[in-house]
Structure 1
Amino acid sequence: MKHPLTLTLLGLALLPAWAASHSTALFISEQDLNGDGQVTQAELKLGREVEFTRIDFNADGLLSETEYLGEFEGRLMQRVGKIVDPEKRHEELQRQMRQAKVRFGVLDTDRSGSITREEFQAAGLRMFQLHDRNHDDVVDEADVRLAEEERKAGKESFVAP
């Protein structure tokens, strides 16, 4: 019988890479590796590590702009391929790729031209902290409810319910 961690890591390697979402509910669904309805910092770090390793095509420990944008474009093509209107599909592809290029620049905090593991992890942890509205070191349904309450109270923020 295989070790549960080995099976988890194998499953993680098959997942598509996701940016840390701006929606708390989506963040949970994307980052909840064990399916318990919540995301811990350890779980997020593990997922980000697997994601970084998968995107780092040449295994040099850095994400080049080509690696980062190429991985994103592959996922994007699957999504925009469902848009029937060719002009809208093309516009969406260009818009999303421009945003991805900007995200690369934001993640490359030392302006070295590549994203280090540390920079990649730090970006994920910043999103975790934004979603952890009750500051209990877990992102879960309670945080989704708090985000929804803030939205209803007119306190729109960078992250949504």
Structure 2
Amino acid sequence: MMQNHKISVALFLALSSVYLQTATADTVAKKQPANSGHQPSLAAKASFITEFDQNSDDNVSQAEFNLIRQQRYQQMDQHKNQQVTAVDYQTEYADRLDRKLKQERDGQIQQTHTRVKALDKDQDGAISLAEYQASGERAFAFLDTNKDLQINKQDPAPTQRTERPAAANTSAAKSTSAKPEQATARTTVRPNSVLKMPTSHNLTGMLEMYDQNQDGLVSKAEYLEQRQTAFNRTDVNSDGVLSADEYLNEFVDRLDRQVASVRTSQLKQALVRFKALDKDENSWLSQAEYDASGARMFKRWDTSGDATVTMAEVLPKAEAAPQTAEKTAATDKAGNAYNAKSRAVTSDQSSQDVAVKPN
């Protein structure tokens, strides 16, 4: 399977060089509060537990975590010499990413079948314009909390619809007697999704989808006009209604474009992670370097220090704030030097074929 994802070292170097050179500009452009940092969430912890929980007890022991990490390194280390290249690292991740994208894509399509049935209020097997716009009206009314017929970031936040009960962020003991009351990854908190589609049911998605002139607001008139245009475009046979297939095909087209975008972005991020893990900057990832990274990851989530990660533990503290412009520039300079070293180390392999697995 890994061979199917092999990309040329030349392509890797080109991607990493471009990405690293633009990273500084992107970082400087994003103005953030001085003390802002990445705050771990319950969803992120649920994702961690889902990824590494082998016996489905909604906990991750140190042994479970270490075993999966060891298996991943062995899969990456194709030559069994403890010298994992950036391509090896990216390829192993691509295998896991593609499986997750497929799983989430299938889930999104299943939800769309359910959505079609919900929109078809008269159950005649098709979605009329009135039914389609009525759904849009409800979404707009939910976000237009001050009822001024426009949606912008200054509107008071709507009361969130209930989905799943949230787990409390407490330091509850992990004793056997406490287990029935514990929040669990699979029953109370939805893990983070890698494949996120914009939706008109939240402010960010509404603005992304309907704020065409980028002025930070969406009026009801332009919203309904855009939905009318979308309806007409989706009504391929121009019969005035949307069949289930027409509705689904339009969504799948957008979904697959999002899959491609997410995959490209995630694989670029894998190259950046490899660089961060390659502490001695020799263009190889040793077993020791990979193990050290895993140890830091597990320790961060295991806030109680008992070698088991559960949803009941208090969340880790926020990570350090993003680098200053000066530090970022220094990182960029180091990244350029790293790329030069990578080119020297791998120049004899630059003729490898590109064979990226299709989405």
Tell me which residue corresponds to 1:72: 93
Report whether the alignment pairs 1:48 with 2:69. yes
State the one-letter code of the partner of 2:277.
L
* Native 8 Å contact 1:41 1:125 kept in 2: no
State the one-letter code of the partner of 1:130.
R
Which runs of 5 or more residues in structure 2 are unaligned? Answer: 1-39, 106-194, 196-251, 320-359
Tell me which residue corresponds to 1:57: 78
Which runs of 5 or more residues in structure 1 are unaligned? Answer: 1-20
Shift of 1:130: 0.9
Shift of 1:98: 1.2
CA gap of 1:44–1:76, structure 2 versus 1, over 3 A, is: closer
Give the 5 Å matches for 1:145-160: 146-147=314-315, 157-158=318-319
Residues 110-155 of structure 1 deviation map (CA, whole Å, 9 limit, x = unaligned):
1111111111111111111111122222211322xx22xx8xxxx7
State the one-letter code of the partner of 1:118.
A
Residues 47-103 of structure 1 deviation map (CA, whole Å, 9 limit, x = unaligned):
211121122222222211111111222333344463733543332222111111101
Report whether the alignment pairs 1:121 with 2:142. no
Tell me which residue corresponds to 1:102: 272
| Number of aligned residue pairs | 129
Tell me which residue corresponds to 2:310: 140
Tell me which residue corresponds to 1:130: 300
CA gap of 1:45–1:75, structure 2 versus 1, over 3 A, is: closer
CA gap of 1:37–1:75, structure 2 versus 1, over 3 A, is: closer
Bigger radius of gyration: 2
Question: C-alpha distance in 2, partners of 1:77/1:30?
Answer: 15
Q: CA RMSD in A?
A: 2.5
Question: C-alpha distance in 2, partners of 1:45/1:79?
Answer: 21
Relative contact order, higher structure (CA 8 A, sep 6+): 2
Question: C-alpha distance in 1, partners of 2:99/2:304?
Answer: 35
Question: C-alpha distance in 1, partners of 2:99/2:307?
Answer: 34
Question: C-alpha distance in 2, partners of 1:135/1:48?
Answer: 19
CA gap of 1:43–1:58, structure 2 versus 1, over 3 A, is: same
Question: C-alpha distance in 1, partners of 2:81/2:66?
Answer: 19
Question: C-alpha distance in 2, partners of 1:133/1:91?
Answer: 35
Identity of aligned residues (%): 30
Between structures 1 and 2, the one with greater helix share: 1
Q: Secondary structure at the match of 2:84?
A: strand
Tell me which residue corresponds to 1:30: 51
CA gap of 1:75–1:34, structure 2 versus 1, over 3 A, is: closer
Report whether the alignment pairs 1:93 with 2:114. no
